[in-house]
Structure 1
C-alpha cells in the first residue's frame, strides 16, 4: 500500500472517533479476541512498512502547517490564518472549566442519577491556542485528512515557522498522558461523569491537564501518530492523583501551541 492509501484508511477510522457516547456494534466486534487475533498480522505489516516509520517521531519543527476547514454552513472564515496570543485565552479557559465543573456538580447534587452530556474533550480548547500538523511529501498537511469528526473536505493550509527552542511535551503513549495529567491536574469528575462513562463504561474521579499550568513549563504539546493509536478513548489510571483521565478530541500528529512566542505564519494561505 502507498502512504496515501494507508493514511486514507486511518482517516476513515479517525473520522468516526467519538468520546461522548457508548461503543456501537462495530466497535464491539473489533474488541473480540478472535477479531483482534485476525487483525494483528495486518497491523504488524503496516507498522513494518517504511511509510509508517515516522509514526513514533516527535513534532517535525521544520514542517508545520495551520489548517482551516471550510464550514459547510457559514463558508470560509473572514479572519486570516494567523497566530494569536494564547496566554490570555488559557486563563479564560481555566475559569470557564472551573465554572462548568461547579455547574455540573450542582446538577449532580440535585439529581444524582441524572445522565447529562457536556464537554467531553481534553484538548486545550482556548482562544488563541494554535493546532498544527506536519506535511508529508506528495500528500500535504496531515490536518487536511486526519481530523476527528471531520466537517469538510475543503481546507486552506498555511505553513508556519518555528524559531528558537520551544519546549515541547511529547505524548508517545498512555503513560506520557498520565504523567502530564498527574503533574498538572485539573479535577473534572462532575462535568465528565456521564460522557466519559459512556465511552469507557467507568465512573471515575476524572482529571484533565490544567493547560494554564502546563503553559508555564511548555510552549506546546505534541501527540505522536503511535500515541493516537494507543491512547484515546480509554480510562487511563493516575498514580499521583486518585482517579483517571481520558485523552479525547486530539487529531493524529497534532501539536497544540500553548504559547505564541516560538511560532509565526509563513507564506500566504494555499487552498
Structure 2
C-alpha cells in the first residue's frame, strides 16, 4: 500500500506522527508538543494565499472519540517565527513512533478527512507534507502504517455483512425514521437520468457565462458523489463501536450522527475503487463533462484551468449496483487531479481532461439499488459532537 502519493495520504501520515507525539507526551506527563508547534508555524508560511491560512486546534483521543483538528482563520505569521520544512523533517525523525492501533489510525484519518476541501486553496499542512524533505521524513511512518495488521482492511472490498447508513443532523431536530418510498430499478435509473439531464443543462449555463478568469462569475457544485436517490454506507471502524461514516466524513453538517444498520441487496455487483486508476476507469467508461460547473471551485484547490470529467452516475448505475471506495483508495485519490482519456464532448470544451474525487469518505459504498426501502429497522445509534473533537455516544441511545 503506497501512502505518500496523494494529498490525503500524506496528511494522514503526518497526522499519525503528531498523534504519536501527543500520546507520548500525555503518557509521560509532559506538556510540550514540539513537532505540533513546528508544523503549525511552518504551515503558516506555506499557504498559497492569506485566506487559506488557518489555525489548528488539536483535541485528545479517547477509545470512543478520536483526536481531531479544528481549523479557523488565523492572522499572518510573524516573519521571525519562521520554521522551515527542513527543520520540521528533522523533528519528525526525532519523534518516537508508536505501533499503529485503532485509536492512532482513526485520529490520523479523521484529521486528514476533515481538512479536505475543494472550494479553497490547500492549507499549509497539506503543502508542508508535500515538500520533498518532509515527504522523505514521512517514509518511516508510512511503512509502519502500511505493514500494520490494523490497516489490512484498508484495501479490502465492501463488508456486506456489516454496513451502516449514517445521517448527520442537528441534535435539536428529530432523527430520520424513513429513507424513502420503495423504488423499482427503473424508477431508480429514471431519477439518475433526470440528474444527468440537469447536470448537462447547468454545464451549458456555466459555459455561456464563463469569462477568461476561472475565479470570476458563479460556480457550481464541487463534489463528485452520486446523487439521490443513491445512499452511502460504511462498516464499523475496526477496534471501535462506530461506523466509519461517523468520524470520517468530509464537509459534514450538524452535531449529531444517527447510524442505522443497512442491508445490501442480494449478490450486488460492486465496482471497487482502490487506487486512482480505478476512479479514472469510471470516468473514461462513463464520462460526464463538467468543465465549467467545476471550473471555479476546483481551480482554487488545484490551480488548474482545463477540462474536467466526472463519472456519469446514471450510466454507472446501469452496469453496477454500487461503488465502493476503500480507505486506501480514498487516501490515494481524493483531493488530487489525475488525467483521464475521455474524448471531448463535442467542441464545447478543450482537451486534455482531468478528474478529481471530491466529497467522498473512506470505506464509503454508494448504493444504486436497495433490497428494501421505507422505515429504518433496528433503531438508531447516535453520537453527539460536543465540540473540541469530542464524539460521544448520545445519552438517549
What is the TM-score of this pair, normalised by structure 2?
0.63
Preserved CA contact (<8 Å) 1:65 1:133: yes
**Matched pairs, number:** 267
**Greater alpha carbon shift after TM alignment, 20-29 vs 36-45:** 20-29
Q: Is 1:52 matched up with 2:151?
A: yes
Preserved CA contact (<8 Å) 1:165 1:262: no
> Residue in 1 aligned with 2:247?
145
CA distance in 1, matches of 2:155, 2:269: 18
CA distance in 1, matches of 2:176, 2:327: 32
> Residue in 2 aligned with 1:14?
113
> Residue in 2 aligned with 1:80?
178
> Residue in 2 aligned with 1:167?
269
> Residue in 2 aligned with 1:216?
318
CA distance in 1, matches of 2:175, 2:338: 37
Return the offset for 1:3: 0.6
Preserved CA contact (<8 Å) 2:181 2:373: yes
Return the offset for 1:216: 0.4
CA distance in 2, matches of 1:237, 1:263: 38
Unaligned stretches of 5+ residues in structure 2: 1-99, 344-351, 383-397
CA distance in 1, matches of 2:323, 2:373: 13
Preserved CA contact (<8 Å) 1:66 1:81: no
> Structure 1 residues 244 and 238, CA, compared in 2 at 3 Å: closer, same or farther?
same
Cα RMSD of the aligned pairs, angstroms, is 2.1
* Alignment deviations for residues 156-204 of structure 1 (CA, whole Å, 9 cap, x no partner): 1111112421111001110000000100001111111121121111122
> Residue in 1 aligned with 2:285?
183
> Residue in 1 aligned with 2:166?
67
CA distance in 2, matches of 1:166, 1:262: 14
- SS state at 1:162 partner: coil
CA distance in 2, matches of 1:49, 1:152: 33
- SS state at 2:296 partner: helix
Unaligned stretches of 5+ residues in structure 1: none
Choose the corresponding residue for 1:259, options 369, 372, 382.
369
> Residue in 2 aligned with 1:98?
200
> Structure 1 residues 169 and 78, CA, compared in 2 at 3 Å: closer, same or farther?
closer
Preserved CA contact (<8 Å) 1:8 1:145: no
> Residue in 1 aligned with 2:381?
270
- SS state at 2:381 partner: coil
> Residue in 1 aligned with 2:136?
37
Greater than 6 Å deviation, 4+ residue runs: none
Whose radius of gyration is greater, 1 or 2? Answer: 2
